[in-house]
Amino acid sequence: MKSDNNPRHIAIIMDGNGRWAKRRLLPRNFGHKKGVETIDRISRYVFDKGVEILTLFAFSTENLRRPKEEVSGIFELFSTYIKKNLPDMIEREIKFKVVGDISVCDDGLKTLIADAEKQTEKFNRGKLNICFNYGGRADIVNAANKLIQEGKTVTEQEFADALYTGGLPDPDIVIRTGNEHRISNFLLYQMAYSEIYFTSTLWPDFKEKELNEIIADFKKTNRRFGNIEQ
Ligand code: FPP
């Protein structure tokens, strides 16, 4: 964290798209579509505010159990999102990265992801991580297996570097929208010292104003990381 107490890394569990749609008697995928509009607004706002990293939980390994048409709808939205936003990410110098096991994606989506990551890899004005088919426990187990193969004892930092998010600082703030008070297998290792905010706002209704209030509250917190007040 920077000395001005600004968060460097914000992570969000974007929950509530389904309920947003249901309340309007619309199919669940309308909620996800509306959720993508919120991603567009919030990501722009976050990077304009000078936050360096935004990590969004878009699809968990458990979400694969949802009805086929909902799953394929989300994959489709993800493809469209990349195609539509890549030019803008390049223009704004945002580094794009997908965090998770993308082996479940079809070749078209894998190519889109690889291409977007390659075209933005040198940028550092902002970093947008989309967690897709991501699970925190799987992340930890993968890292452990990788390190076992290398056959060495590791430090906490070396372990962190073996995770999908290796090289990035841990999130300062984790937000969950949608009025559920759980972590749902998100960045389990990485959020050890994150400030966690739960809001009842459904993701499609989440606005810059509320994010701003969360950031303002975070700036007032005194993070001691297990130490005492100095
Ligand atoms: C949680 O709401 C949301 C998801 C499981 C999917 C989020 C996906 C997107 C915003 C679209 C994907 C787009 C990109 C760019 C990756 P929920 O469906 O669990 O809502 P509910 O709890 O109200 O049912």
List the chain pLDDT tens, one digit each, 230 residues.
Answer: 445 789 999 999 999 999 999 999 999 999 999 999 999 999 999 999 999 999 999 999 999 999 999 999 999 999 999 999 999 999 999 999 999 999 999 999 999 999 999 999 999 999 999 999 999 999 999 999 999 999 989 999 999 999 999 999 999 999 999 999 999 999 999 999 999 999 999 999 999 999 999 999 999 997 777 787 76
Strands 126-134 vs 94-99: parallel, antiparallel or unpaired: parallel
Distance between CA atoms of 69 and 92, rounded to whole angstroms?
Answer: 33
The structural domains of the chain, with segments of one domain joined by +, span 9-219
Angle ∠(18,21,24) on CA atoms, nearest 5: 150
Which CATH number is 9-219 given? 3.40.1180.10
Atom of ligand 1 nearest to the CA of 33: 11
Burial of 57 (0-12, 13-18, 19+ CB in 10 A): buried
Q: Which of 6, 63, 142, 185 is catalytic?
A: 63
pTM: 0.95
pLDDT at position 75: 98
**227 assigned to active site:** no
171 touches ligand 1 (CB under 6 Å):
no
Closest approach atom of ligand 1 to CA 82: 15
Neighbours of 178 (CB within 10 A): 21
Query: Is residue 30 left, alpha or beta, with left meaning phi > 0 and alpha meaning psi from -120 to 50?
Result: alpha
- Cβ of 14 below 6 Å from ligand 1: yes
CA of 70 to the centre of ligand 1 (A): 10
Identify which of 18, 38, 133 has the alpha carbon closest to the alpha carbon of residue 81. 38
Q: Is the CB of 39 under 6 A from ligand 1?
A: yes
**Residue 162, ligand 1, Cβ within 6 A:** no
Q: 74 CB less than 6 Å from ligand 1? A: yes
Indicate the burial class of 153 (C-beta count within 10 angstroms; 0-12, 13-18, 19 or more): exposed
The answer to whether residue 15 is catalytic is yes
d(CA 208, CA 192) in angstroms, rounded, equals 26
100 and 164 Cβ atoms separated by less than 8 Å? yes
Helices (H) and strands (E) in the chain, counts: 7, 6
- In whole angstroms, give the CA distance from residue 115 to residue 5: 35
